[in-house]
Amino acid sequence: MIWIIHRAFPRSSSVHPSMFSPSSTPTPPWPELEKAERLARGAALKWASGIFYRPEQLTRLDQYRSREAQRMCSIESRIKSTIQSYLENVQTGLEQLSLALKEVQEAREALAEAQGELRSQAEAAHTLEPLRELADQHGQLQAVTLLLPQLRAVPEAVARTQALIQGHGFLEAYGVLRELEQLRDEVLDLLGGPELPLFEGLTHLGEELGLAVGKAVGSARQLARDDPALLVAAVRVAELEEQRDIQLQASCPGRPRAWRQRCLGALRRALEEAYFEGLAPTPSGLAGHLAALREALPAELALAESLVAPCCPVDYDVVKLWAHTLHQGLCQHLQKLMDCEDLGTQDIFTLLHWALHIYPGPEMMGHPDLSPEADISDLQPLLSLEAVEQLESTYTEKIKISIAEWLQKALDGEVAEWFREQEPDMDPEGFYHSSLPAVVLQILDENIRVTTMISPSLQERIHGMALRELGIFLRSLLEALEHFSQEHLKDVSKPRHYVPYLLVCLNHYTALSSSVSLLQPAGVSTPTGVSATIESALGDLKKKICRLILDALLEELQPLFVALPSRQWLSSLVMLDKVCEQTASFCSRFSRVRSPMAQMLLSESERAVVLEYLRGLMQGKLVCRNLSERIQVSERMLQDSAQLRELFLGLELEENVQTGAVLGALQELFRLQDPGLLSLEVSSFLHKFPDVSEEHIGALLDVRGDVSREQRQAVLETMQANPPPPPPPEGHRPLFSLVPVPSPTLVFCFPAGSCS
């Protein structure tokens, strides 16, 4: 079958591009042509395989061959016809291009001839240039000749304008000036050259008129009262010139003249000069100076609204201009006062109050009768944040110095009273009294409260500073009390009323501690650490005063406790009677102290007496010789405990806060007849008083006088074997840990003899 296809479509029958090439040189085959040929052969093979699928169809092979040969001839003839037509068109195009090239060459030659002719004509025209210039000058001179009458009148018009300016005829002067400037511009347009000397004075004349107009507008405050027509004329001239600036500023040199801005600037400068330049506080001080401004500035704004504003265009915003100018000038004026003046605390306070409250308030710029145009809320504050910070800081430092001086004076006066020969004063309730706390709190409170008129920030500053100064004052009071006690130690008879004045100071503590919270303004927080400092200083003050009072009590009781315990003490009640009598006399003065300090003093005094009693007992000055003395010691301690309880109950000290019960517990150690049971008794005592030590028990056993070494050792071992005591309850105060135990006497043993 393939043989049949090759016979039907021989390869030599395909059309190759070389058949139509005008050159005999063979060209390499195109890749696209080969691809097309392969596709064509594939398509033919597919077609033939479909046609000659059956053997009986081969009978029609000649018919198919004949038909395909005819198709090939037809296609070849069409291709040859198309190529022939294409070649003919190319020939025609070449002929037309040749003709166009010839025409272009002819046009180039014609243009060259025309250019030569033009050069010759230009040279001829150049020789006529002087004639043209003369013709132009002749035309200009002819036009100027027509203006000669007006030009001759220019000097007279200039002189007239100057006279009008000096006579404040601003509108007429401006009209003449406009005519002269129009004439000058017309002559310049005609001549096209530099300005004639005749018009050289017009620029100066215009500047003179502008200065005069600005000066007149700058005097608006006075003119509005005396000659409003002149003010209106000056403003009108400025407005007309403003319109000329808009028309001519793009084409005329020397424009814009900006007379309107000059007038507004003159208004501002006049206001600043009138109120602030060279202005200083009067002899009445800054307060009087600011009071005068408080009256003058609203009056000035009322003048601007009622007299000046009607003389000016609406867009001048005269009231707003007045308000803003005065505001800016006032800002600079106050800053100069701050920089140049050494302001005191009262001046700073007055300045801050005036700037922050009076000026924007209803008395001045916030007055309901002022025009809305006078609103200054969109302007910067009268005092900047930095200026307010500086003033508040300076005020705080100056007040700090003043408060420190006043507090020191108050303390010096108080200390001087301590050395008086008479008892302290008493208030109507019968308590010892001094003006010191009231003076201190008044000084601090007044300086804190007054700052509410300024700002919360200043109030917070002063509050923190006042508390810090209070802390310093309390420390100074502590130092004064220390000096007071040292003077007393030098001579116990002086000062005469040592203890009463200590009690006065304790009342001071009560008054100060209860009143510190009153210094706290609403909404103001206490600086970090200051409260703790005040509390610490107050606590130290209370401890110091109580310590000095108790030292004075023990100083009086010390001679009475020297012989306690002793056999004289066992046989007589006189010794403790004297102690109770002296204690009652000393503590009776506590009624002059306000609660709860009075109860605290009674409690501490009772505790001090009991501690002193225990100290004497631990000294080992008495050793019982027999059971009878031990019973006697036990009974005496019971009697002493009861006597002390009754004493302090009589002084209105509640029994549950008394410590004298320890004597009743101790007497059990002496009442016990069998020393072998001491371990049980000591365990019970240790449970009640967990801070008792082995040294304390040993000292008490020595007082019994009948405890052997083995029994002592058993007692101590029992104490060691006891579990550690639980933590004491809150508020529990140790007792035995404050009682010293004397060191045991060393016993020396020599090899040659017995221990002695």
3-class DSSP state for residue 654?
A: coil
CB-based contacts of 356-359 (< 8 A; 24+ apart in sequence): 356/382, 356/383, 356/388, 356/454, 356/455, 357/453, 357/454, 358/290, 358/294, 359/294, 359/330
Helix, strand or coil, per DSSP, at residue 338? helix
Asked if residue 394 lies in contact with residue 385, where contact means CB atoms within 8 angstroms, the answer is no
Mean pLDDT of the chain, nearest integer: 83
Please write the tens of the pLDDT for every residue from 356-367: 999 888 888 887
When pLDDT is cut at 50, 70 and 90, the band that residue 485 belongs to is very high
Q: Do residues 477 and 505 touch, judged by C-beta distance below 8 A?
A: yes
Residue percentage of the chain with pLDDT more than 90: 28
Q: Is the dihedral angle over the CA atoms 20, 21, 23, 27 positive or is it negative?
A: negative
| The two three-digit tokens of residue 747, written as one number | 């016993």
Range among 217-226, 403-412, 490-499 with highest mean pLDDT value: 403-412
For residue 190, the tally of other CB atoms under 10 A from its CB is 16
Three-class SS state of 606: helix
Rounded to the nearest angstrom, the gap between the alpha carbon of residue 396 and the centroid of all alpha carbons in its chain is: 18
Whether the pLDDT of residue 254 is over 90: the answer is no
pLDDT band at 484 (very low <50, low <70, confident <90, very high): very high
The position carrying tokens 């409250």 is 357
Neighbours of 148 (CB within 10 A): 9
Among all chains, which residue has been given the structure tokens 């709190």?
A: 441
pLDDT higher than threshold 90 for residue 589: yes
Residue type at 276 in one-letter notation: F
Residue 255 predicted with pLDDT over 60: yes
Please state whether the predicted TM-score (pTM) of the whole model is above 0.85.
no
Q: For position 16, what pLDDT does the model report?
A: 42
CA angle 619, 624, 628 (to 5 degrees): 145
Helix axes 154-166, 170-191, angle to 10 degrees: 150
Task: Place 644 in a pLDDT band, splitting at 50, 70 and 90.
Answer: very high
Q: What does DSSP assign to residue 285?
A: B
Q: Is the distance from CB of 324 to CB of 266 less than 8 angstroms?
A: no
Tell me the C-alpha distance between 577 and 79, whole Å. 160
Asked if 510 and 595 count as a contact pair (C-beta separation under 8 A), the reply is no
Confidence of residue 479 (pLDDT cuts 50, 70, 90): very high
Q: Which among 40-49, 180-189, 683-692 has the top mean pLDDT?
A: 683-692
Say if residue 732 is exposed, middle or buried (CB neighbours under 10 Å; 0-12, 13-18, 19+).
exposed
- State the residue for tokens 């970090």: 528
CA 537 from chain center: how many Å?
31
Whether the per-residue pLDDT at 281 is higher than 60: the answer is no
Residue 605 — pLDDT band, cuts 50, 70, 90?
very high
Q: What is the pLDDT of residue 674?
A: 86
The pLDDT of residue 206: 83
3-class state of residue 573 by DSSP: coil
Please give the DSSP secondary-structure letter assigned to residue 451.
Answer: G
Dist. CA 394–CA 198, nearest whole Å: 66
- CA 592, 593, 599: angle at the middle one, nearest 5? 120
| Percentage of the residues of the chain whose pLDDT score is greater than 70 | 88
What CA–CA distance (Å, rounded) separates 295 from 284? 16
- Please state, in angstroms and rounded to a whole number, the distance separating the CA atoms of residues 378 and 327: 11
Q: Which band of pLDDT confidence, cut at 50, 70 and 90, is reported for residue 544?
A: very high
- In sequence order, the 6+-apart residues with CB closer than 8 A to the CB of 130 are none
What's the CATH number of domain 388-547, 3.60.20.10, 1.10.357.50, 1.20.1260.10, 3.40.50.450?
Answer: 1.10.357.50
3-state secondary structure of 433: strand
List Cβ neighbours of 632 (8 Å cut-off, separation of 6 or more).
570
Least confident stretch, 169-178, 249-258, 419-428, 489-498: 249-258
Contact (Cβ atoms closer than 8 angstroms) between residue 258 and residue 249: no
Dihedral sign from CA coordinates of 339, 340, 345, 350: negative
Delimiting residues of CATH 1.10.357.70 domain(s) in the chain:
562-738
Beta bridge partners of 433: 425
pLDDT mean over 231-244: 86
d(CA 756, CA 748): 7
Going by C-alpha positions, the residue among 642, 690, 580 that lies closest to residue 634 is: 642
Distance CA 743, CA 755 (A): 19
372 Cβ neighbours under 8 A, 6+ residues apart: none
Of 263, 295, 293, 300, residue with least CA distance to 279: 293
Q: What angle in degrees, to the nearest 10, is found between the helix axes of 627-650 and 661-671?
A: 170
> Coil, strand, or helix at residue 490?
helix
What is residue 193's predicted lDDT score, i.e. its pLDDT? 61
Look up residue 531 and give its two tokens: 């409260």
Per-residue pLDDT, averaged over 729-738, amounts to: 77
Please name the amino acid found at residue 109: E
Residue 13 in this model has a pLDDT that exceeds 80 = no
What distance, in Å, lies between the first and last C-alpha atoms of the chain? 157
Q: What is the mean pLDDT of residues 366-377?
A: 78
Q: 562-738 has which fold? A: Tetracycline Repressor; domain 2 (1.10.357)
For 113, half-sphere exposure in the C-beta direction (CA atoms, 13 angstrom radius) is 6
Q: How confident is the model at residue 389 (pLDDT cuts 50, 70, 90)?
A: very high
Strands (E), 6-149: none
Helix, strand, coil share (%) of the chain residues, nearest 5: 75, 0, 25
Residue type, 363: E
User: Helices 661-671 and 678-688: crossing angle, nearest 10°?
Assistant: 170
User: Measured between alpha carbons, how far is 634 from 639 in angstroms, rounded to an integer?
Assistant: 9
d(C-alpha 148, C-alpha 136), whole Å: 19
Residues comprising the chain, all counted: 756
Label residue 267 by pLDDT band (50, 70, 90).
confident
Q: Which regions of the chain carry the CATH code 1.10.357.50?
A: 388-547
Helix (H, G, I), strand (E, B) or coil at 45: helix
Q: Give the residue, 518 or 24, on which the prediction is more confident.
A: 518
